[in-house]
Amino acid sequence: MATEYDLWKIFPRMPKKVTIGDITIRDGFQHCEKFISTQAKIFYGQEMILAGAKEIEVTNLGSAVTTPQFADAEEVLTALRSDEFKKRCGKAGINYGEIVMTAVTIRETAVDKAIELKKKGIGPDRILMMVSTDPEHHFANSGTTLSQYWREAERCIAKARDAGLKMCGTVSTIWGSPISGATKMEDAVEFTKRWFSIGAHDIEHADHDGSANAADVYRYCSMIMDAMPNPEGHLLHLHETKRVASSSILAALMAGFTRFEGTLGGLGGQPANFLGDSPIRGTGEYYYDDPRFVGLICLEDLLVQIDELGIEHGYDVDRVLWLGKKMEKTMGGRLRSEVIYNGRTIKAGHMKFARPGLKKLIEKEGEKPGQNAPPEWPAQAILPKQWGPADPIWEK
């Protein structure tokens, strides 16, 4: 029996269109040990929208004591909500009303702040709370037990809904925790159901320390799609520590996931516990020894991967690659994107590098253009028996 070569026939849930969210100016910058200027945050937020981002995470509304990187949250939101920017979007042919801006609101006080900003006309469209399948990791992030947090989340979802805000419920440490190690994927499926049961709009399925591998991502995402098959309700959030996250993206696509997110340059990681020349609280001591090998999946590389699979994504790829190069200047060094240097695969090739002597040599040898083997050889290669397929159908 011949092999089926069409991925979409082998994996019928695999999408032809996806949504890729940008979370650079929030999750990407939270790991930085220098303050990223408000001007830079506004620039990258606006430019990523102009490049095609429909879902963008813009800030953290939590305490400025723990995350002073986002002390300028209101100023950033104001700029992204400005009439001037809305006009720029209109001129670029972008429907501003389709853009979903998210702010992280881990605790209830941050949810209340989001509601206040919504009333002012500059608030986010969507907010985010988070539970971890590892209670130790959850406590490190929120300072509560899981039971305490579920009650808080239920209250927050109700008040957010009344204010016209969507709530994203994150499930973290699905494939492993930097504190307690592996947890059961079945627990993460149950946590997802709990989020929906208390009114969450959608779920971010998160690998916050790069523990995931393709086989387990396929298994988990398939479990999710079996139990809750509406792909609009699910978003995959992968960290990159071992350079294998792109294989996990393909596995999630095969399972039917259609929403992903990343950061320019693969920025991000655990909230910084140092800013400028001063230690800060962050989320305590780092879970890693070398900050060069943490971060999220690189948005530029993810986008090119999706683009070259022939899957629709809605971005101006070249504009995103240009922004990736700018981000390296903002951060003052080489980041993790490979495609901003190596470029996209150009199917037409790069004929400017063709050697002029080939045509002359073909003529000299009396060969025909396009001839790929000696003319006395058979039109198709004849395989020795030991290298042919075992299936007798191939011998007919």
Does the pLDDT at position 108 exceed 70? yes
Residue entry with tokens 């910058």: 29
What is the rounded average pLDDT of the residues 335-343? 95
Identify the CA nearest to 172 among candidates 130, 223, 135: 130
Q: How far is the C-alpha of 258 from the C-alpha of 304, rounded, in Å?
A: 16
Structure tokens at 88: 């720029």
165: Cβ–Cβ under 8 A, 6 or more apart, which residues? 114, 115, 118, 123, 124, 125, 126, 127
Helix (H, G, I), strand (E, B) or coil at 100: strand
Helix (H, G, I), strand (E, B) or coil at 139: helix
Helix (H, G, I), strand (E, B) or coil at 93: coil
Structure tokens at 394: 């191939």
The string of pLDDT tens digits covering residues 294-318 is 999 999 999 999 999 999 999 999 9
Provide φ and ψ at 394, rounded to 5°: -75, -15
Handedness of CA 112, 116, 119, 122 (dihedral sign): negative
Structure tokens at 194: 């709990």
Q: What angle do CA 292, 298, 299 make, to 5 degrees?
A: 150
Does the pLDDT at position 195 exceed 90? yes
Instruction: pLDDT band for 391, please (50, 70, 90 cuts).
Output: low
Are 232 and 197 in contact, with CB atoms under 8 Å apart? no
What is the rounded average pLDDT of the residues 85-109? 98
The string of pLDDT tens digits covering residues 131-154 is 999 999 999 999 999 999 999 999
Provide φ and ψ at 127, rounded to 5°: -125, 170
| pLDDT computed for residue 347 by the predictor | 87
240: Cβ–Cβ under 8 A, 6 or more apart, which residues? 210, 266, 295, 296, 297, 298, 336
Are 240 and 336 in contact, with CB atoms under 8 Å apart? yes
Does the pLDDT at position 283 exceed 90? no
pTM (two decimals): 0.94
Structure tokens at 212: 């995931």
Are 59 and 103 in contact, with CB atoms under 8 Å apart? yes
Are 115 and 123 in contact, with CB atoms under 8 Å apart? yes
From residue 276, alpha-carbon distances to 230, 295, 352 in Å are 44, 20, 47
Instruction: pLDDT band for 392, please (50, 70, 90 cuts).
Output: low
Helix (H, G, I), strand (E, B) or coil at 224: helix
The string of pLDDT tens digits covering residues 153-194 is 999 999 999 999 999 999 999 999 999 999 999 999 999 999
Q: How far is the C-alpha of 82 from the C-alpha of 56, rounded, in Å?
A: 16
What is the rounded average pLDDT of the residues 60-75? 96
Q: What are the DSSP calls for 357-385, one per residue?
A: HHHHHHHHHTPPTT--S-TTS-SS----G
What is the rounded average pLDDT of the residues 106-129? 98
99 C-beta neighbours (distance < 10 Å), count: 16
Handedness of CA 100, 104, 107, 112 (dihedral sign): negative
Q: What are the DSSP calls for 29-74, one per residue?
A: HHT-SSPPPHHHHHHHHHHHHHTT-SEEEEEE-S-TTT-GGGTTHH
Indicate the angle between helix axes 299-308 and 245-255, nearest 10 degrees.
Answer: 50
Average pLDDT over all residues of the chain? 95
Q: Which residues pair with 385 in a beta bridge?
A: none
